[in-house]
Amino acid sequence: MVTTPSVKPERPARPPTSPQAQEQPAPGPVAHPLARRSWRSILRQTISRRAERTVTRWLTTALLLGVTASAAALLYRWLSLPTVTVTDAVEAPVVEAFYATGTLSPVREYPVNSSVEGIVTEVWVDKGSPVAAGQKLAFVRVEEYLMRHSQAQAELELKQSLADPHTSPTLLEYDRRLQAAQTQLEVAQRELDRVSTLLSAAAASQSDYDRSVERYQSAWSLVESIKAQKATRQLELQRDVKVAQAALDIAQWNLEEQVVRSPIDGVVLDRPASTGTRVRVNDPLMHLAQVNPRDLVMRAAVDEEDKTRVSLGQPVHITLYSYPGRLFEGRVQQIYPQADPNRRTFEVDIAVQPPDPGFAAGMTGELAFIVDSKDRATVIPTQAVQAGQVWVVRNGRLAAAEVQLGLTSVERTEILSGLSPGDRVVVSPARNLVEAQRVRTRYVDPATAAGLNKPADQEGSSFRGFR
C-alpha cells in the first residue's frame, strides 16, 4: 500500500506595500505603543529591567553585609578590650589610722569567790542587783565551823574559870598553903622576938637565938615560894585564857567567813551560784564591777604589729554598734604590757570623752587609732595602689603614674606628687595589664571606691580614711 505524504499548505504571501503605504497607515483606532513593538524587544527590555533590579539588590545586600561586618568587627574589637574600674583622685582631708575592735568594760572587775568549802544556803542578790560595800551577798554553810565555835566557846569559859581567883581550885589551894605558911612565919617572928629579948637580958644563949633566926628564915622562904608558885600558875592560867580566846576568835572568824560580802559599791555582773551548790575554797560565786558610765573604758584588742604605734593620750575615733551613725572621741588611757598568748593582741584602755549616759558594760564597737592627719590633700582609694604602683587611664590607654605616697589608711592614700584631682586611677586588679594598652573603663564614685578595700565585716562603718 502506497501512502502519499501530506503537504502543508503555504501561507498566502502578504501583498507588497509601497513606502507611501507604510508612511500612511490605514485609518482606524490608534494602537498602544507596546502594540507597535515586537515581542522580542519587549522581552529584551523586560529581562534587562529584571537584571538591573537583581544587580541592585545584590549590590545593596553586599553593601549592608560589608557595613555589618565592619561594625561587628569594630564591636568585637571594642568588646575584646579589657575592662578596668576607675575613679577620680579627689582633694579631701586624710587620716592615717589603724583599726581594732573593743568592748566597753569596767576599769576593774571584782570576782567574788568562796572563802570556805561548804554548801550555798542563802543568796541575797541576783544578776544586775546594785550592791554596797560590806553588803551581805550569800551564805556558805560549813557544819564543822559551827562545832568548832561551840567547842572554842566552852574551852574559853573553862579557862576563864580556872584563872579566876574566886573559882579556880588551883589558886584557892595556893591561897590555903600561903595562909598556913604565913601563920608559921608569924609564929617564927614571935619566937625570934622573944629569944632576942632574952638574949639581951642574958637569959638565953646565942645558939637559941640562932635557931630562932633559922626557923624564921625558913618560914619566910616558904611564904615567898608559895607566892611565886601562885604567881607563876596565875600567868599560866591567864595564858590559857588568851589561847582559848584566840581559838574562839578564829572560830568566830570562820563563822563570819561563811557570809560573803561585797568588797565595793557596784553591780552584780553575772548570775550568782544557786542555793544548794557545793563549793570549794576560791570557787567563783559572782562578779561585781563599778558600771557607772563615767567608770567605763573602751578596752580594745590591738594587733601586735600595731603595738608600737600606740601611745598614751593618742586620739581615737570610736563607733558603737548600739549607736549607729554616731562617732565618739576618746584618748588612750592605759596600755597593758603583756599580749594575749592565744590571740597575740595587746589590751589598750581608751577613755571616752565625754561618756554617754546610756553606756553599758559589754557594748562593742570599732576603733580607729589616729596616727597622723591632714585637713586637705590629694587622695585616692588605697585599692588603687597595687604593688607600690598606681595606674591611670588617659585617652583610653593605660599609663603607670610616677607617684609619691603620703599618709595611708585602710581606705585612702595620700598622693604627694604625680597625680592631680580629677585624674582617673584604676582600682580594679591590674596584674595582666601593660603600659599603653587600650582599655574600656567602668567609673565608680570615689566614696564607693573607698569601700572596695574595706573588709566585709566592717561595711557601714564611719571610717573612710577622711573626716
Tell me the C-alpha distance between 119 and 141, whole Å.
5
User: Do β-strands 440-443 and 83-88 pair in parallel, antiparallel, or remain unpaired?
Assistant: parallel
Residue 15 has pLDDT above 70, yes or no: no
CATH of domain 113-140+259-288: 2.40.50.100
CATH of domain 83-92+375-458: 2.40.420.20
The pLDDT > 90 percentage for the chain reads 48
Residue 118: its pLDDT value, please? 93
Q: What is the pLDDT of residues 282-331, one digit of tens each?
A: 999 999 999 999 999 999 999 999 999 999 999 999 999 999 989 999 99
Cell output for 160: 576563864
Residue 72 has pLDDT above 80, yes or no: no
pTM over 0.85: no
Residue 276: pLDDT band (50, 70, 90) is very high
Q: What is 101-107+289-371's CATH topology? A: Elongation Factor Tu (Ef-tu); domain 3 (2.40.30)
| Helix orientation angle between 143-163 and 169-200, rounded to the nearest 10 degrees | 20
Residue 369: pLDDT band (50, 70, 90) is very high
Cell output for 455: 573588709
Residue 141 has pLDDT above 50, yes or no: yes
Domain locations in the chain?
A: 83-92+375-458, 101-107+289-371, 113-140+259-288, 143-257
